[in-house]
Amino acid sequence: MGECMKLRYLLVGVAAFTMTGQAMAQGFSGPRVEGRVGFDDAGADITLFDDEDLDEEDIVIPTLSAEGTSYGVEVGYDLVLGRRPSGFLVGAYLGGDLSNADVCDSDFEDDDDDDDGEEESCFKVRRSLTAGVRFGYAIENSALLYGKVGLSSGRFKVVGGGKVDEDTFGADDDLISDSDLDGNRRGFHFGAGVEGNLMSNVYAKLEYVHTEYKSEKDEDFRIRFDRDQILFGLGVRF
C-alpha cells in the first residue's frame, strides 16, 4: 500500500513537470505561496536498554510506522543571485501541514483491553510546523534544483491509551506508555526538490523531506521519532 501511494505522487509530479517546457515564466525571485500534498511516513524506533528484566542486552522493537497523506501550505521568499535568469538561488520559508498518517496494532495495546485482545491503539501524526532556508540553482526561467534545511515542530497522538505490553517485548513491567509517544516534538528537517514554472507566475514542485525529532529517553528505553515525505506543490509567485 505504501509503495502504491509513493508511485502515485511521483507520477502526478512528473506529469506536472512535462508542462513546464512551454511555459512563459517570470523566473524564481520574489515572494511565493503554495499548497502541497503528498505521501507521509512517520515512525517511532524503540530500543529497550540492557536490564535485569530483559533477556538480551539491547532489544530493538520494530518501528511503529504511520503512513498516510499530508496536506498543507508554505510561504517564502526567494532571490536569484548573479546574472539572471540563470543563477544561484537563496530563500527562506515557513510552512505548516496536517496529516492523516496513522498505524493501529493489537501489540500496542489499550490500557483498558480485555483478555480477548480485540481492542487496538493507534499511533497518529497530527500536524507539523516548519521554518528554514533553501538554496539551489535556477536554469533559465524554466527549472530550479534546490536543497532545503530547517527546524520542525511535530505533534504525535496515541488514541486508545496505548502501552508497550510485557508479553510482546519480554519485560516484567510496562516500560513505555502513551505519554512517551504522545505530544509535541521539536527537531530539524532537510530535503531536496525540483521546481518548474508552468505559466506566468504559477509554479509546480516535487520534493523529498526527511525530519528527525527529539528522542524520548530514560534509563530503560529510547524512542527515536522521524518522518519521510514525498510532496507535490502548486503555488503562485508575486
* Band of pLDDT at residue 8, cut at 50, 70 and 90: low
Residue 144 lies in a domain: yes
Residue pair 23/60 in contact (Cβ under 8 Å)? The answer is: no
Residue pair 83/72 in contact (Cβ under 8 Å)? The answer is: no
Residue 57 lies in a domain: no
* Band of pLDDT at residue 152, cut at 50, 70 and 90: very high
List the CATH number of the domain containing 216: 2.40.160.20
Residue 164 lies in a domain: no
Mean pLDDT of the chain: 79
* Band of pLDDT at residue 220, cut at 50, 70 and 90: confident
Q: Give the bridge partners for 95, in sequence order.
A: 74, 130
Choose the weakest-confidence range: 55-64, 81-90, 111-120, 156-165: 111-120
Residue 180 lies in a domain: no
Residue 178 lies in a domain: no
Cα(185)–Cα(178) distance, integer angstroms: 14
Residue 41 lies in a domain: yes
**What percent of the chain has pLDDT above 70?**
66
Residue 135 lies in a domain: yes
Range of the domain at 79: 2-52+68-102+126-155+187-237
Residue 118 lies in a domain: no
* Number of domains observed in the structure of the chain: 1
Residue pair 111/152 in contact (Cβ under 8 Å)? The answer is: no
- pLDDT tens-place string over residues 40-94: 999 888 777 765 554 445 656 666 788 999 999 999 999 999 777 789 999 999 9
Check whether the bond before 62 is cis (ω within 30° of 0). no
